[in-house]
Amino acid sequence: MKKCNNINYNDLSKQFTLEELHTVLDNLEERPSNEDLYNIWNHVLGITKEDYLKKYEYQCYHVWDPLYPICVNTKYHTWYKSMYDIGVALSSTDRKCTHDFFGLVKDGASIDEIKNYIYVFIKYYDTLRNDLFNEHRERFTERMKNPKRLEI
State the pLDDT at residue 141. Answer: 77
Instruction: Give the span between the Cα atoms of 42 and 38, in whole angstroms.
Output: 6
Taking all residues of the chain, what is their mean pLDDT, rounded to a whole number?
80
**Smallest Cα–Cα separation from 152: which of 134, 141, 140?**
140
State the pLDDT at residue 63. Answer: 47
Mean pLDDT of 101-119: 96
Query: Does residue 140 carry a pLDDT above 90?
Result: no
Instruction: Give the span between the Cα atoms of 44 and 82, in whole angstroms.
Output: 24
Question: What is the percent of the chain where pLDDT is above 90?
Answer: 40
State the pLDDT at residue 138. Answer: 85
Specify whether the CB–CB gap between 24 and 44 falls below 8 A.
no
Give the pLDDT confidence of 17-66 residue by residue, as tens digits.
888 899 989 988 889 999 999 999 999 999 888 776 666 655 554 545 55
State the pLDDT at residue 1. Answer: 37
Query: Does residue 76 carry a pLDDT above 70?
Result: no
Query: Does residue 118 carry a pLDDT above 90?
Result: yes
State the pLDDT at residue 144. Answer: 73
Neighbour-count burial of 118, counting CB atoms closer than 10 A to its CB (0-12 exposed, 13-18 middle, 19+ buried)? buried
Rg of the Cα atoms in the chain: 20
Mean pLDDT of 6-18: 69
Instruction: Give the span between the Cα atoms of 140 and 136, in whole angstroms.
Output: 6
Instruction: Give the span between the Cα atoms of 121 and 128, in whole angstroms.
Output: 10
Give the pLDDT confidence of 56-75 residue by residue, as tens digits.
655 554 545 555 555 656 66
- Torsion angle of alpha carbons 120, 107, 47, 134, nearest 10°? 50
